[in-house]
Structure 1
Amino acid sequence: MSSKSSDYTLGERICKARDVSGLSTAQLARRLGIKTSTLHSWESDRSEPRSNKLVLLAGLLNVSPTWLLVGRGTPPVMDEPASADLDGVRVALDRLQRQAQGLADEIAALQERLNGS
């Protein structure tokens, strides 16, 4: 794929801008007042936002509606993360790893119960 914004689809531009903004699909969907599945449909080009949601989406992602629609204008630029941001990411990652380990342990215990029956 070419690196020009106009060569990307609307869904790809939405996804890129969301990634640059640091928002998850769930966070952005909540701010837009839509279901996460609706946002997934937009990002995968299965559907498109109505004009009122497109304008709101552009504002939340700090890009112009024109850039979202046709790739003209200034694309979103990722800022260098501050060290405090990285610390927050490390803390979140540690928390998620602990949760994942807990779930893995629970799955193993349930599998043992099933195998023991």
Structure 2
Amino acid sequence: MDDILQDDGWFSEETATFGDRLAGAREAEGLTQTELARRIGVKIKTLRGWEEDLNEPRANKLQMLSGLLNVSLRWLLTGEGEGINEPSHGPDDLPEMRDLLLEIRDIKSQMSRSADQLGRLEKRLRKRLGGAVT
């Protein structure tokens, strides 16, 4: 069963983001977001941003994450190399779970685009109001 998951590349670049791999590795180590953020010296908001793929860590933090989470830097970035074991689910669960992950990623992308659009609209409105609204 693990071979099936390995072949499908649960954490591969095609099926998972950096944030997915970071969260998976953190959970595999039994760490909370708060614990990991404290251990690498960042605010929890920063770590959440990384796990939600809103921001990316700098090179020095990537190296720290790799060491603390016992995964290769290459795996964190691409899903290739030494990483964590993929979740153990039956082969019948995989298509549905993968579809759910893809749907979640699509919604996150739509939300990000909507937030950008909302920001642009707000900026235009503020400009037209001459800065009267804060």
Asked if Structure 1 and Structure 2 have the same fold, meaning a TM-score greater than 0.5 normalized by the shorter chain, the answer is yes
Aligned to 1:53: 61
Conserved? CA contact 1:5–1:75, under 8 Å: no
CA separation of 1:34/1:4 partners in 2, compared to 1, >3 Å: closer, same or farther? closer
Aligned to 1:62: 70
Q: Which amino acid aligns with 1:20?
A: A
Distance (whole Å) between structure 1 residues aligned to residue 11 and residue 34 of structure 2: 27
**Residue from 35, 40, 45 that aligns with 2:43:** 35
Conserved? CA contact 1:32–1:57, under 8 Å: yes
C-alpha deviation, 1:4, in angstroms: 4.3
Q: Which amino acid aligns with 2:10?
A: S
C-alpha deviation, 1:38, in angstroms: 0.2
Q: Deviations over 1:12-41 (max 9, x none)?
A: 000000000000000000000000000000
Using structure 2 for the length normalisation, give the TM-score.
0.54
Distance (whole Å) between structure 2 residues aligned to residue 17 and residue 33 of structure 1: 18
C-alpha deviation, 1:2, in angstroms: 6.2
Identify unmatched segments of 5+ residues in structure 1. 79-117
Task: Name the one with the larger helix percent.
Answer: 1
Q: Which amino acid aligns with 1:70?
A: T
CA separation of 1:77/1:3 partners in 2, compared to 1, >3 Å: closer, same or farther? closer
Distance (whole Å) between structure 2 residues aligned to residue 2 and residue 51 of structure 1: 25
| Cα root mean square deviation, aligned | 1.8
Identify unmatched segments of 5+ residues in structure 2. 1-7, 87-134
Distance (whole Å) between structure 2 residues aligned to residue 4 and residue 19 of structure 1: 14
- Report % sequence identity: 47
Between Structure 1 and Structure 2, whose CA radius of gyration is higher?
Answer: 1
CA separation of 1:46/1:77 partners in 2, compared to 1, >3 Å: closer, same or farther? same
Distance (whole Å) between structure 2 residues aligned to residue 62 and residue 39 of structure 1: 17
Using structure 1 for the length normalisation, give the TM-score.
0.62
Aligned to 2:27: 19
The number of residue pairs the alignment matches comes to 78
Distance (whole Å) between structure 2 residues aligned to residue 59 and residue 71 of structure 1: 16
Q: Which amino acid aligns with 1:13?
A: R
